[in-house]
Each structure stands twice: as structure tokens, then as C-alpha cells.
């Protein structure tokens, strides 16, 4: 699957230190295969949460499509879901 990053997600990746960035890029590779702790968001259609340690990746994916759009990446305490 193809991963597309929205502006906030790319900005967050650019702002973190190198080890964290590597960890998050590795998580995005897992996400491309839809592996890991993925849960649908309540009350929002086609949006999901991927948990990697204390980070959260919010993304949108419509079943059957080959594109995952990453909406937001942040820590657990700073994310709204």
C-alpha cells in the first residue's frame, strides 16, 4: 500500500530527533501492511488509530483502496483520540 502524509504528519516527523524519526518510519512501514495495534475511531468513518509505544498515528483508509492517508502523528498526551 502507498502511504501519503498530510502536512501535520510530515511536519511532526521533521521535528523529532533521528532515533524517534527512524522508529516512526518503521511504524509507517508496518502500517503500509496493516500490521500492528490498529483500531477504528468511533464516530468517524474510515479513520483509524495506530498505536506504537506512546505515539499515535491517525490515518484514513477506505477498504479496497491502495492508499493510506496519514492525518496526524503525535504523542498520546497531545492527540485528540
CATH number of the domain within which 29 lies: 3.30.2310.20
Confidence label for 30 from pLDDT (cuts 50, 70 and 90): very high
Q: For the chain, give the mean pLDDT.
A: 94
81 compared with 20, residue with greater pLDDT: 20
pLDDT tens profile 46-80: 999 999 999 999 999 998 889 999 999 999 999 87
81 pLDDT more than 80? no
In the beta sheet, which residues pair with residue 72?
58
Could you tell me the residue range of the domain that residue 25 belongs to? Answer: 2-78
3-state SS assignment for residue 72? strand
Number of domains in the chain: 1
pLDDT reported for residue 1: 87
What pTM was estimated for this model as a whole? Answer: 0.90
Amino acid at each position: 500500500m502507498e502511504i501519503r502524509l498530510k502536512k501535520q504528519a510530515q511536519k511532526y516527523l521533521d521535528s523529532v530527533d533521528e532515533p524517534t524519526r527512524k522508529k516512526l518510519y518503521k511504524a509507517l512501514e508496518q502500517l503500509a501492511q496493516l500490521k500492528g495495534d490498529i483500531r477504528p475511531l468511533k464516530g468517524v468513518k474510515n479513520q483509524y488509530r495506530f498505536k506504537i509505544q506512546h505515539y499515535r498515528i491517525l490515518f484514513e483508509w477506505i477498504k479496497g483502496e491502495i492508499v493510506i492517508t496519514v492525518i496526524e502523528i503525535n504523542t498520546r498526551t497531545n492527540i485528540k483520540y
